Structure formats: structure tokens, C-alpha cells
Amino acid sequence: MNKSKILLLNGSGFIGLHLRAHLVAHMGEDQVVATYNETSFPGGVKFDALSMDLQQAVPDLEVFSHAVILFASTHPDDCARNPEASQALNVTVVKAIIDQLDESNVCPVFASTEMIFDGQKGDYVESDPMNPVLLYGKQKAEVEEYLRGHVPGALILRIANVYGSDPAGGGIIAGWYKIVADGAETVKCASDYIASPVHVEDVVEAVRRLMESGCHGTYHIAGPQPLSRLEIFETLLDEIRKVRPVEVNVVSCSINDFPTVEGRPLNISMKADKLIAETGLTPRDLRLACRHLVDAAREIRFLNLAVEDSKLRAELLDAVDGVLRHGQLILGPEVEAFEKAVAEASGKRYAVGVSSGSSALYLALKSLGIGPGDEVITTPLSWVVTYHAIAACGATPVPVDIREDFNLDPGLIEAAITPATKAIVPVHFTGRMCEMDRICKIAEDNNLLVVEDAAQAYGASYKNRSVGSFSTVASFSMNPMKVLGAYGEAGCITTDDEDIAEKISVLLYAGVVRSEISEYIEINHKLDTVQAAMLLVAMKYLPARISRRAEIANRYNEAFRDFAVCPQSSEEWTHAYYIYSMQVDRRDELKKHLEDRGINCKIYHYPMMPDQPAYAYLPKTDLPVANNVVSRMLSLPASEKLTDDEVNYIIETVRDFNV
């Protein structure tokens, strides 16, 4: 008979869960059978050791080579409080199971503990005599003796204090991490209670290797060094503090200051030299595990919109206060001041504040008379509003393929022009401008209008000309995600043409030309005074924001350029770094890798506009470059709020994936 299967007697505890997953990964699902008592799991076999017979739960016992006995009442105080019940579960039942396993020729693998030692000496080796002081240790020692007497081929594993590096999982460091994360002011730790904590992944690796190599006898599964509770906590705290400041008062005490039923043995550290020599396993260092746990618990948001800078918050509140005091909540003086500031910054004669970037693009197109029957050439890759604004005017969006830099390919525009074409809407995607001189030349040659959808590119420039300066009208979004963002919805339109500026001012006010008289069918698109007031504050911080974003983008470019297509910026082509998007192979796998490590990333914008259900009525166009680009692009957190440590972490995590 092929006896290769492993039976786990309780696969739902901390070690059991990890061991089951580890064995399944190495041996395949059909080679591992695990039981549970209370917490069921798919494929698990119900087995309550106190009330059921093992042979009933697992009738084909003889197909197993090993059975790992993990169930027990493991808390020393519970054992001491309930001596009869714990004796039944930890000893009587286990002995009966060992007999059954032996009869079926299954090797018992018994999970024992360092509590079988008296704690007087520390650094215990397998040949040291057992001398338990706690009832729990005595129970485990009794089973060890029984096994040694009755089943010489059995494996006895004295497993030290186990921890993991999953912040949401079990074990001591995850528990302490939670206490710190929850903001504990004081943590009491024993400096005289010394163990050799071991990572749960090392435990399961050790168990598998020992079983695989047919080992028998007693083994210590322990971490590489003896550590007090206080040292463990300080190591964890140290790693947390590398990532963020933590204020916690650490109080050193004795383990016996805690209210325990039985006094604890003090130094129960064990040496795992025998395990290391026979299996080649090197248990990992606690510090590394703490670092992994801290990393796994991190969350780097794609964009954190909370205003954490107290100086900025005070200025914003001041600006809002000013508006509340004068009470002109609509079309107040701050709207005019904001418009003046944008016009000056973009070198245009007029800027008109509106309620959003969507309204901005829609009104820009409307002001030029674009409407039913007109075709408007644009990119397929933008926030869906680019298409919606065109369609809301009654016109038809016509997509033209893009280049690797995400922007409209000027070389393909002419082929898309028809007698119905009225305008081109280039979108400066992610904050990098389109090749505007070529696009404008094509428009001029073909008598077309150009409206820059500059929603993502405030602050960018091309050939020393600022964004918005190439077209008759340009639209901007100042929604909170933008580099120049309001604290709610906002947008703006720029132009040099007085008539167009005037028309937009009428359109945004429900087409009203003078008191109560409306000449155009239009709704309300006005910018709030409060948003304008806060935008005036935000404008002061814009140069610093863009330069910090450029610094981060340059670091990413430097780190990723060997395996990714990175966003390009140059003196001629100044990026506004609204979004840092790169193109990589195995994009979805990388995204998962980053997200599993707490780094939020995004795919901008998928599905593309022509594939949105709203545009199912339009004919399909072949867009090979755009389709390829969206299947490979990934946007990373890159806002000015990231700390250097977070940037380093993102770089290392991306690199880890590509090694």
C-alpha cells in the first residue's frame, strides 16, 4: 500500500491552519486530510477527540504514513483550573489515539512543548531531563514518556512559542502589533520570562521535512535565540518605528507579576541544533519576521485626501471663514480672484470657474457651437467624461488610437476626419501633454476646432507653452484628486476669446443673459465661492507639489526603467504628474503582489470609453495600441504626501516582484 498521506488531527488551530496549507502546497490536496472540532473548513473531517472514535471519523487510517496530533488544551492556566478535563484531552484521549495509530501502522507525530522543562537553566537540548513544573507540562511529558515506551518510531516535536507575521493572524507579535496599533499608552512586558520563539512557517517546514525524511525521536523546533518577552516587544516596536512614530510606555516587569494560576518556569528557551543539523532548516530571525509583519500591516493609499498638514488646514479654514463671514456663497469675490489667478498662471486673457471638469469640457464644446451631427475626434483612453461631454452636446465621439505615452497619435488623426468632423479634443493623459503643435497644424489644415481636455494636466507644459495655450478653449478639472485640487468639485475654462468667455459665463448661469432672462437651454454649472477660496490657497502649494511628485516619479523611473515603460518628462515636455502610470508585463500579477503588501494601485481607465456600455450604439474602431497599453498599465501611489520611507517601500516591493 502507498502510505504517503498525512493526517492532521486538528487542522483549524494556529499551527494546524499553516501546516495544512503548507502540506497541500507541497503534496497536493488529496494527500492531506485534516480534522476539526469546532471551526470547520472545506474538506475538513469532523472529529471531537473527547466523544468520537478516530476510526469512525477516519475509517481508512492505514492509508496514512503520519498523523500529526495537534489538538490539546494548551493554555497552562486552563489546564490548572480544569485538571480532570485537561488530563482527559491532553493525555487519556491522546494515548488511545496513539494506540490506534500504532495498530494501523501510522507514525504518530506528537506536538509537545518547552513546558516539559523546569525553566532553571534555559538553552535546553533534547537530552536534558524533563522536569515540568506546570500541570500542562506534566501532561505533555506523560505522553512523551508513553510514546517513547510504546512507539519508538514516533516523532516528538517540542515546539517553542510560535508566532507569525500575518498582522491579522495569531501568535504573540500579531497580538502585540494590534495592541500598539490600537493606541495603547502602556505595555507591560516580562523581562525574566525567556523563550526561543519560532516562526510558524519554520515550524511547518520543520514538521514536513522531518516527516519526509522518516525521522523519529525527539526534536526541538525553536527560534535561533533566547528572548525575553520584553526583548520581543522592543524588537517589534523598533520595526514599527522605522515606519511611523509610536508613543508607548514600555514597562519592564516579571512574568510572575501577571495573575497566573501556577508560577511560570522562567527560562524555557530551547536549542534546535539537532533539527538544523538533520534537516538543514535555519529558523528565521524574529526581527525579520517583525519587519514582514509591519510591512504587511501597512496601507499605502493611492491618494490620501485628508488634510494632515496643520498649516495648510489652518489656511483653508481661514479661507472658508472669510466666505462665511461675507456670505456671498455663490459668485463671491473669491471666484473672480481664482479666475484671475488661473488666467495669469496660464497666460490666457480669461478664465471662468465652473462647478467641475465635466462642466468645463461640456461648456467649452457648447460655447464653440458643437452639437448634433458633428463628429469630434478624441482619444479612447480618458475618464469617461471626455466622451460624455461630447455626447451631451449631441455630437459623436470618434476615437483615434494613441501612442505608448498614452496620448492621441497625431499621425492617425487625418485618416479619421470626415465631412462631419468639427473638432479635435486632445486629452493630456496622466498630466503629460499631447504633441499639440502637430495636432493644431492638422486642425488648421482641415479647418477644425481644438479643445484641450486639460483636466489632468494643470501645471504641465510643452515646448515652453503652458497647458491650455494651444487651443481656442481649454477645460480643467480641479476635483480633489487633481494636483491642483479643490476640497469638493470644481473646474475651470481658459480662453483668449472675449466672446467665448462671455458666452461661457452666460451658459454656466442657466443661459441667463440678464436678470431672469435666459437665452439658452442650459442648466447650472457655477463654481462655489468656498471652493474658489480654498483653491486660491491650494494654488500657493502647487509648485512644491509638482516638484515633489517629479522627484518621486524620477525615483520610480530610475528603479523600474529596466523592466517597465515609464512616464517621460523633459525640459520640452514638462509632466504635471497627476498620475504615475507605467507599463509592465504580468501587470495583474504585479498589482496583486503590491496590494497583498498594502500598496494600493489603480488601472486608469478601464474599460476604455468606446467599450463602455453607454457607447454600444457607436461603430467599433480598431485600437491596437490603446488595447495593448491598457492591458499593461499600472498606476502607483505617487502623490506628494508619500514619505521617503513609503517611496522606498514601494520601490523595493516592485523590485521584489521583478527579481
Give contact residues for ligand PLP (rule: CB under 6 A).
Answer: 356-358, 361, 382-383, 385-386, 427, 453, 455-456, 477, 479, 489, 491
Q: Which is nearer to ligand PLP, 112 or 477 (CB)?
A: 477
Residue 302's CB is within 10 A of a number of other CB atoms, namely 15
Q: Which is nearer to ligand PLP, 456 or 471 (CB)?
A: 456
Q: Which is nearer to ligand PLP, 12 or 456 (CB)?
A: 456
Q: Which is nearer to ligand PLP, 79 or 393 (CB)?
A: 393
Q: Which is nearer to ligand PLP, 12 or 358 (CB)?
A: 358
The three cell numbers of residue 272 are 534546535
Q: Which is nearer to ligand PLP, 90 or 386 (CB)?
A: 386
Q: Quote the least distance from Cβ 232 to ligand PLP, whole Å.
A: 48
Burial of 84 (0-12, 13-18, 19+ CB in 10 A): exposed
Q: Quote the least distance from Cβ 440 to ligand PLP, whole Å.
A: 19
Q: Quote the least distance from Cβ 469 to ligand PLP, whole Å.
A: 18
Euclidean distance between CA atoms 293 and 523, whole angstroms? 53
Q: Quote the least distance from Cβ 441 to ligand PLP, whole Å.
A: 23
Q: Quote the least distance from Cβ 24 to ligand PLP, whole Å.
A: 45
Q: Which is nearer to ligand PLP, 293 or 363 (CB)?
A: 363
Q: Which is nearer to ligand PLP, 235 or 355 (CB)?
A: 355
Residue number with the shortest CB distance to ligand PLP? 357
Q: Quote the least distance from Cβ 586 to ligand PLP, whole Å.
A: 27
Q: Which is nearer to ligand PLP, 272 or 433 (CB)?
A: 433
Q: Break the chain down into helix, strand, coil percent, rounded to 5.
A: 40, 20, 40
Q: Which is nearer to ligand PLP, 173 or 455 (CB)?
A: 455
Euclidean distance between CA atoms 430 and 382, whole angstroms? 9
Q: Which is nearer to ligand PLP, 101 or 408 (CB)?
A: 408
Euclidean distance between CA atoms 350 and 352, whole angstroms? 7
HSE, CB side, 13 Å, CA atoms: give it for residue 309: 11
Q: Quote the least distance from Cβ 509 to ligand PLP, whole Å.
A: 18
The three cell numbers of residue 169 are 493572524
Euclidean distance between CA atoms 103 and 504, whole angstroms? 91
Phi-psi map region of 171: left, alpha, beta (phi>0 left; psi -120 to 50 alpha)? left
Q: Which is nearer to ligand PLP, 430 or 529 (CB)?
A: 430
Q: Which is nearer to ligand PLP, 10 or 407 (CB)?
A: 407
Euclidean distance between CA atoms 481 and 465, whole angstroms? 24
Instruction: Tell how far CA 137 is from the center of its chain.
Output: 42
Q: Are 510 and 495 in contact (CB under 8 A)?
A: no
Which of 300, 189, 356, 312 has its CA nearest to residue 552? 300
Q: Quote the least distance from Cβ 460 to ligand PLP, whole Å.
A: 13
Q: Quote the least distance from Cβ 454 to ligand PLP, whole Å.
A: 8
Euclidean distance between CA atoms 39 and 13, whole angstroms? 9
Q: Are 642 and 545 in contact (CB under 8 A)?
A: no
Q: Which is nearer to ligand PLP, 226 or 426 (CB)?
A: 426
Q: Quote the least distance from Cβ 355 to ligand PLP, whole Å.
A: 8
* Residue-wise burial string across 444-466, b where 16 or more C-beta atoms lie within 10 A, e elsewhere: eeeebbbbbbbbbbbbbbbeeeb
Euclidean distance between CA atoms 76 and 255, whole angstroms? 14
Euclidean distance between CA atoms 264 and 423, whole angstroms? 82
Q: Which residue is it, cell 502649494?
A: 541
E strand residue ranges, 371-466: 375-378, 396-399, 421-425, 449-453, 461-462, 465-466
What is the maximal distance between C-alpha atoms in the chain?
Answer: 103
Q: Quote the least distance from Cβ 397 to ligand PLP, whole Å.
A: 12
- With a CB cutoff of 8 Å and minimum separation 6, the contacts of 566 are 556, 557, 560, 582
Bond before 220 cis per omega within 30 degrees: no
Helix and strand numbers, DSSP H then E, in the chain: 22, 28
Q: Quote the least distance from Cβ 507 to ligand PLP, whole Å.
A: 16
Pairing verdict, β 217-221 and 350-354: unpaired
Q: Quote the least distance from Cβ 629 to ligand PLP, whole Å.
A: 16
Bond before 199 cis per omega within 30 degrees: no
Burial of 498 (0-12, 13-18, 19+ CB in 10 A): exposed
User: What Rg value do the Cα atoms of the chain yield, rounded?
Assistant: 34
In sequence order, which ranges of 350-432 are alpha helices (DSSP H)? 357-367, 385-392, 413-416
Q: Which is nearer to ligand PLP, 47 or 458 (CB)?
A: 458
Q: Quote the least distance from Cβ 305 to ligand PLP, whole Å.
A: 14
Q: Quote the least distance from Cβ 489 to ligand PLP, whole Å.
A: 6
